[in-house]
Structure 1
Amino acid sequence: MKSDRSLGNRISIVVPVFNAQDYILDTIRMVQRQTYENFELILVDDASSDRSTEIINAVLGEGDNRIKLIRTTVNKGAASARNAGISAATGRYLAFLDADDVWMEDKLEKELAFLRDKDAAFVFTAYEFGDENAKPTGRVVHVPESLSFREALSRTVIFTTTVMIDMDKLSKDTIYMPLIESEDTATWWSILKRGTVAYGLDEVLAIYRRPHKSLSSNKFAAIRRIWGLYRKIAGLSVISSLFYFMGWAVRATLRRL
């Protein structure tokens, strides 16, 4: 168990919360069970209309001062909620977690050790798809040892819930997410475009919960988003965008088989 409470070793975990009453208590308990204990859990309630805030306040009443709640009065989306959490973060390290995703109990401990071993600014891990109940499906997304900007353009392999950042190496200004669709991918590309290399720990430390949705509408939306990122965030020409899009499409298809 890791219990050092110094700010220099603290991990700030940012969780956007919007109408997550079905998941949020389990998410909080999951973080509390982490083998690495020096964290602050920043829950940003983005104007939920369900019982999310009530559930969080009940947990706050238990006295775990590592848990913090930020409430907004207007729903502005995940990017804005994450940015509020980043602004409030006091630790050296930053991790992201979506309210319906799952971490293994040693996720923070293993990933922090990996980040320090690589002397990295930005790391991410492998993950496994889960069903609507977060039950693992056996479909694992493996990650490369490292990822540069150009390599990232054809493979959206960085899953936000697996990311950890050293804020001594990357300032908050470089981490804030733009208020656009696929804001997380846009952020990773912007960071990598500055010359940072992301390092991948190819061990499943998270489960990506995927409720049943319309696959066709998801695909069309993903195509539109990725094209917009190529043109507006990466600044690529139409020809270059087509080149990287083909690589992205092949990898995205294989990942879902």
Structure 2
Amino acid sequence: MPTPLLSVCLITYNHEKYIRQAIEGVLMQKVNFDWELIIADDFSTDGTRAILQEYQQQHPNHIRLILQEKNVGAAQNWFDLMKTPTSKYIAYFEGDDHWIDDCKLQKQVDFLEQNPTFTLCHSDVQVVDIAGKSIENHPLKYWNAKHPILDYRFAIFTPIAFSCTSVFSNVVSFDKLSKNVKAGDWMLWILLTLKGNAQYFDQKFSAYRIGSGVSDSSVWHKDFHYRVLFLLQQMSIKNSFSKNKWLLKGSVYFMLFQWSKITRIRKFIYLADQIKYIG
């Protein structure tokens, strides 16, 4: 079987209520290129795995499964999934989200093929609750609408994209990423925008579900120090930043200031000490 142009990477754990909708959103895509769907299940204890196996049997030429033999945790499951594709492009999302535009992949792949200086494209989202009911727009919508083209200078301040809307070039070595960083999509956006620009589509390609698991805000705040350390370590080895240390330092101090509002001052001092990574 030839290497597909794009791999859809879907991560899941106990998403029995939503996983069919997630998979159907992929299967409905209208594309003119070869693709595959790789699904990593972290040893679900509900009916998720049975549903995955059902779809894999129905679509053996398109669906591959990574079935963990025990619960390895979200971070390890994510790394096992993301280092699997050998395709030129990757689309990534989680099992409680789904796609609502049947031309999503075609639009995004067409853009990346025509614009080789871009490594990531993403879009607006339809935010829904656990019942699938639409709710208010996410604040990122207004930021991205004003800044449709972003680079690393924006990515170090904000995660910039919803993972369920993303398609990106397969240019990141996932084996080298720190597994201490829980919010893997944030560090992924940083590394992608170090290699090219990010393009925002002011269209709703996907539905992003809130309330079905660990809240995003708790994850972002809890592991902020890991993300800052990751940023410092990654940027310190990039020669391209030798002339922009003032930008990097300012960005890090900004993040430390934000984080200090929700944590203990001793951790702030500890993190500030890590500035030595960038001189």
Pick closer, same or farther for the CA change 1:110–1:60 going to 2, 3 Å.
Answer: same
Partner of 1:153: 156
Unpaired segments of 5 or more residues in structure 2? 236-247, 261-279
CA RMSD of aligned residues (A): 3.2
> Is 1:54 the counterpart of 2:54 in the alignment?
no
Cα gap change, 1:133/1:10 in structure 2, threshold over 3 Å: closer, same or farther? Answer: farther
The answer to whether structure 1 residue 131 and structure 2 residue 126 are counterparts is no
CA contact (8 A) 1:177 1:184 kept: no
Residues 134, 176 of structure 1: alpha-carbon distance in 2 compared, 3 angstrom cutoff: farther
Indicate conservation of the 8 Å contact 1:190/1:233, yes or no: no
Given that 1:97 and 1:162 are in contact with CA atoms closer than 8 Å, whether structure 2 keeps it comes out as yes
* SS of aligned partner of 1:201: strand
Higher Rg = 2
Question: How far apart are 1:152 and its partner, in Å?
Answer: 1.6
Matches for 1:238-253 after TM superposition, within 5 Å: 240-244=251-255
Question: Is 1:103 aligned to 2:104, yes or no?
Answer: no
In 1, the alpha carbon distance for the partners of 2:204 and 2:49 equals: 30
Is contact 1:46–1:76 with CA below 8 Å preserved after alignment? yes
The question of 1:199 aligning with 2:199 is answered yes
Q: Deviations over 1:133-176 (max 9, x none)?
A: 23322415432322222212222221111221222xx1444786
Matches of 2:180 and 2:83, distance apart in 1? 15
Is the contact made by 1:132 and 1:212 (CA closer than 8 Å) also made in structure 2?
yes
Say if 2:109 is the partner of 1:112.
yes
Structure 1 52/221 Cα, relative in aligned 2: closer, same or farther at 3 Å? closer
One-letter amino acid matched to 1:112: V
- Is 1:29 aligned to 2:24, yes or no? yes
**Whole-Å separation in 2 of the counterparts to 1:161 and 1:31:** 11
TM-score scaled by structure 1?
0.78
Task: Give the number of aligned pairs.
Answer: 239
Aligned 8 A contact 1:18 1:46 in 2: yes
